[in-house]
Amino acid sequence: MSATNQHLYLSHRPRRLRRTESLRLMVQENQLTVNDLIYPLFVMEGEKIQQPISSMVDCYRYSLDLLLKEIEEVSNLGIKAIALFPYIEDDKKDNEGKETYNPNGLVQRTVKAIKTKIPQIIVITDIALDPYSIYGHDGIVKDGQILNDETVEALVKMALSHAEAGADIVAPSDMMDGRIGAIRQALDQEGWLDTSILAYSAKYASAYYGPFRDALASSPQFGDKKTYQMDIANSREAIREVALDIKEGADMVMVKPALAYLDIIQQIRQYTNLPVVAYNVSGEYSMIKAASQRGWIDEELVVLETLTSMKRAGANLILTYFAKQIAPQLTKN
Ligand code: PBG
């Protein structure tokens, strides 16, 4: 078949719009930008410490001094927000999470320092007891059960103390019932009207959190998290959780993990007009790093493809350990 003589008479040739890079960019439907990224960071006590995490290549636990440097770099790359996770030493752990609302605790000091030195960066703090719990559970334990209402009381104190330290957004990741409403009410009562709540609404009892638990030494000491985190097989339940959190006052809702739950992201996007956040969790990160280290995949391309899939599914924002590494490749606006 030559170009002039014989050819098919097709009313549509989708390949026409894929012919050149410029055409492809003109018709591109979704684009990842630095504004979409939230960078999770691990902080620990001490000075001049940058401690590798063996199951999370290129991720570190930082002491506050070096954390500030890291955040400075990240902010210069155009990233707008970080999510802070503390490594808590054993002697500060208990069952009730008393350290969670210590005004001079690690998170509180860290948030204050960040907001003083790098005020433009949005600071998101995690609200849950697990890094502080001797049992590695997100709530208070009694007779092998995770208590709901008692835990919510502790989470409220934790959220207030983070707001007081200067957190822009508090992010309850615990999955206790009623915590969003309780936290919103307490924040309002205390005058923290501008402190936002990012609700980990559809958080699944996932095996993808393994490396994160290494990073914080926060693995459950007994059982699993299935009495509070969601069943991996469910999707209608995700809508129910999101509906409750919105009713209780969430400003943004999250789906976690992201990659194995793209269908949930898509459904939540259709359900609500609030910003939808996807958490590209530690296990998703480490799988890519591991395959890349073996030379089995092109890391840069796979990261871009993975994060773009989350945007395509409907996520407005993505929490990802790849944020710093990918930022230079993305458009700033
Ligand atoms: C704690 C929390 C977890 C993650 C974020 N906050 C772990 C868990 O629920 O066990 C996991 C993040 C990741 O794997 O990257 N509530």
User: What is the widest separation between alpha-carbon atoms in the chain?
Assistant: 82
- 65 pLDDT above the threshold of 90: yes
- 263 pLDDT above the threshold of 90: yes
- Which protein residue's CA is at the shortest distance from atom 8 of ligand 1? 209
Could you read off the pLDDT of 98-157 as tens digits, one per residue?
999 999 999 999 999 999 999 999 999 999 999 999 999 999 999 999 999 999 999 999
Residue 115 CA to ligand 1 center (angstroms) comes to 24
Residue 55, ligand 1, Cβ within 6 A:
no
pTM greater than 0.75 (yes/no)? yes
Could you read off the pLDDT of 278-329 as tens digits, one per residue?
999 999 999 999 999 999 999 999 999 999 999 999 999 999 999 999 999 9
- 256 pLDDT above the threshold of 90: yes
**Residue of 61, 124, 129, 130 to test ligand 1 pocket, by largest number of atoms within 8 Å of CB:** 130
pLDDT value at residue 81: 98
Closest listed residue to residue 56, CA positions, set 87, 81, 90, 32: 87
Residue 10 CA to ligand 1 center (angstroms) comes to 52
pLDDT value at residue 333: 60
- Which protein residue's CA is at the shortest distance from atom 16 of ligand 1? 173
Residue 321, ligand 1, Cβ within 6 A:
no
pLDDT value at residue 21: 97
Phi, psi of 271 (to 5 degrees): -80, -35
Residue 284, ligand 1, Cβ within 6 A:
no
Active-site choice (93, 203, 225, 289): 203
| Rounded percentage of the chain residues whose pLDDT exceeds 90 | 97
- 166 pLDDT above the threshold of 90: yes
pLDDT value at residue 301: 97
Residue 281, ligand 1, Cβ within 6 A:
yes
pLDDT value at residue 5: 76
Contact present, 51 and 45 (Cβ < 8 Å): no
- Pairwise CA distance, residues 232 & 209, whole Å: 13
pLDDT (mean) for 27-51: 97
How confident is residue 3, by pLDDT bands cut at 50, 70 and 90? low
Measure CA 107 to chain center: 17
- 330 pLDDT above the threshold of 90: yes
User: DSSP readout, 1-15?
Assistant: --SSS-----S--GG
Q: Which residues pair with 85 in a beta bridge?
A: 42
Measure CA 71 to chain center: 16
pLDDT value at residue 222: 95
How confident is residue 61, by pLDDT bands cut at 50, 70 and 90? very high
Residue 138, ligand 1, Cβ within 6 A:
yes
pLDDT value at residue 331: 72
Closest listed residue to residue 53, CA positions, set 298, 321, 258, 319: 321
Measure CA 236 to chain center: 22
How confident is residue 77, by pLDDT bands cut at 50, 70 and 90? very high
pLDDT (mean) for 212-230: 94
Phi, psi of 257 (to 5 degrees): -65, -175
- Which protein residue's CA is at the shortest distance from atom 14 of ligand 1? 209
203 is catalytic: yes
- Pairwise CA distance, residues 153 & 298, whole Å: 47
- Ligand 1 nearest-atom number relative to CA 126: 6
| SS3 of residue 26 by DSSP | helix
Contact present, 235 and 206 (Cβ < 8 Å): no
Residues 6+ apart with CB under 8 A from 57: 286, 289, 290, 293
pLDDT value at residue 42: 98
How confident is residue 1, by pLDDT bands cut at 50, 70 and 90? low
How confident is residue 4, by pLDDT bands cut at 50, 70 and 90? low
| Rounded percentage of the chain residues whose pLDDT exceeds 70 | 98
256 is catalytic: yes
